[in-house]
Amino acid sequence: MEKEFLNRDSVYETFYNLFKEVVEDYGYDLSLFEDYVEEYTIHSTENTLESMRKYCHKKDTRMCGNFCNIREDWEYTYDFIGSEVKPWGKFDDVIKSIDDGTISDEDLAKFQTWAFDWFFRAFGTWGLKYNFGDFISEIAYEFEREDVLETA
């Protein structure tokens, strides 16, 4: 079985809570959006896990417009992200051990924790909440058209 580079449950829970927060910030009744929150959270989680897998395998992990670089942050500036987990070994060696299944469950959990901390340091939550808000606005508009949602 293919191992994840981020802990699926942690990503799901974080996205779900961010999404709920956006719905509440917009002043909507969460129960109207519950199915959408679940669906969008699952979709966002899957996309993030796949993107992280691809990103960790890139030869060059620099990102245009973002000063974070997972390989460099792991090997040189790991204090930057503020994770309780301290990197060990070479990044590419850790990725290889994840790919070939030789990483211990304990080290995999530590890597996933560090990568999760890195992900949210690198990207923050503003963009995620913005995208969630945009999605909620589209659904709210459809609800208003169908008279499911009362407008102020």
CB atoms within 10 A of CB 73: 22
pLDDT > 50? residue 152: no
Q: Which residues contact 17 (CB under 8 A, 6 or more apart)?
A: none
Give the tens place of pLDDT for each residue, 59-107: 999 988 888 899 999 988 756 677 888 899 999 999 999 999 999 999 9
Question: Is the entire prediction scored with pTM above 0.95?
Answer: no
pLDDT > 60? residue 120: yes
Instruction: State CA 102 to chain mean position distance.
Output: 25
Q: Rounded distance, CA 30 to CA 17, Å?
A: 12
Closest Cα partner for 98 from 26, 2, 11?
Answer: 2
For CA atoms 52, 54, 59, 61, the dihedral sign is negative
Across the range 32-46, mean pLDDT stands at 90
Q: Locate 82 and state its tokens.
A: 């503020």
Q: Locate 47 and state its tokens.
A: 């996309």
